[in-house]
Structure 1
């Protein structure tokens, strides 16, 4: 079992997509624990900073490459795998469905096979986009009904995992935001802050609801799952039920910026290849009770990003 006990004093945890936002946060938190041996993996070289000579190693591993996965697993024999690698840009998934399927479904089949052979606990990251957004926020027992191709691939991966016979946990999350090293992707907080500082008028939708998730909180939730050896489905997200417009107003308030530059619009103004579910978000009671998960508020998340920005500039 991938559970940390006195008898099992060291836990080997392999992370896929360790160069991504969540992957970097997992590496930062896990390498601070002397009882965990961390193996970061990704397609290229490590883009991690500030980890120094802590207790981790890096392996180049493409999750769509079955042979490479089996080779790495044979060498490492991980107790647990946190699978964060995926194709997550929803419109790109709609436009390039073959690539999306390869990244989000075929890769999971490869990992299931490796976890079965080496008896590894698979912790798989999933999404609120498996739901149609008609009845959010959702509990773990809610009935999925995706409305875009990305959501369908993530649901298919969930079903493959459930039927696999391995030890598994599915961690579903919502609108993850944060700052990572050497990454070009922005988030709503950074976009709003930059736009308002430059005096630009921005249009922000008010008819989509989410429970935005601080990347550090999501990483902490995944680590709780691994250390406790909990199986099944867990909603791991923020606790505030907000629209993007709400998030923009809170960001402006925090940084003392001009809210009059923010125009409230509905999503019909924007044309996007993939449909978005209108109202998702998660009920996180199970994670709070079973795992002891305790996420930050959205305002607290803004404060954390603000500190990180100041550190990056110093």
Structure 2
């Protein structure tokens, strides 16, 4: 699902070109053949940091990265250089903020490309261990920005073979590893935590499924609102949602498009944890710091084994075999960690 159901003022926009195919990443959990550790990398360019207002309760850098400087082809004039804000922290946490609060963080084509580039950069940076995705201004995301449909039948500049920018973009993502909302087809190798406040509707709900863990404000709303206007799910909703909540519950949400509160989302497994209003980002940051404190090789191998079992395994035996093979890759580190724990325990017992 990609389309939100909110009405916005239609802005007179600029024109953008599609990203190069070399910039797309490996597809997302459940949407590509698994090859642990093999992902297409983006070339990280040195960033000229630009100060922007950035809402992060635990910011350790006064100058978060402006996504304009990432290797994404926009063309023309970028009217929203701060639509995606990234803060790569010294403790290894990358915060990624959708920063279009006046649009309820609906995602247009340029923003989708920037969001995709942000996760590519997170993937390629060995100093960054966990990412936290959230929406600025009290709403996670209202899905795809419907104003992009305005140019569906308008000619794109300097082109004769494709009738519009929006249609060109959807043709480009058809069968490619960038989703309509950006990173929704990626198979991310490191933990992603989504902090959900306000609305996660239409494609916003699908985007939240990219997270391994969803920390949800108690008053947040999940809803497949595009059901009401006849738009199908295109960003992994029919793939990931049944794996997360079960087929029966997924069909209930997908077919009816009914809203789900934070409390119900917790009960069906859509929310991992529910927190008081306004605290989801703070709690997500606390959880990210907890995850960073664990041995990363073991954590990520176990994480990938879970995705293999859920999406790729041909049988129980196949899943168990893959788990063992993946685990033995970090067995030496595991043995060393186990021995260190035993030695530490013995020292404590002598005190």
So what's the TM-score if we normalise by structure 1? 0.30
Q: Which has the higher strand share?
A: 1
Q: Name the larger-Rg structure.
A: 2
